[in-house]
Amino acid sequence: MNLTILASLEGGALAGTLVGVIIGGIIVGAIIGFFVTRLIVKKQLKDNPPITEGQIRAMYMSMGRKPSEGDIKKTINAMKKAKK
């Protein structure tokens, strides 16, 4: 931006320009932040997927147990409580 243009602006016009630039910067920053955060969350879910009921069922089967629905729900609830 040409500094001679800024120097020729009067007080009100300069203040309006600054407010516009600040608001524009906040909007652009929010948009960039949204997409960066979205990429990070997608990468985290890809690297560390949540455990499903099927995986818990397979874990019980590998230990030689036939899991009941109650066992699976207890395990899921215990994992949710442990995350908090």
Q: Are residues 34 and 73 in the same domain?
A: no
b/e code 34-48 from CB counts within 10 Å (16+ = b): eeeeeeeeeeeeeee
pLDDT at residue 22, as a whole number? 97
pLDDT at residue 49, as a whole number? 84
- Domain with 32, as residue range(s), is 1-49
Domain count, the chain: 2
* pLDDT one-digit tens code per residue, 12-28: 788 888 999 999 999 99
Q: Are residues 44 and 59 in the same domain?
A: no
* pLDDT one-digit tens code per residue, 25-71: 999 999 999 999 999 999 999 998 888 899 999 999 999 989 899 98
d(CA 48, CA 14): 50
The answer to whether residue 2 scores a pLDDT higher than 60 is: no
pLDDT at residue 27, as a whole number? 98
Q: Are residues 39 and 71 in the same domain?
A: no
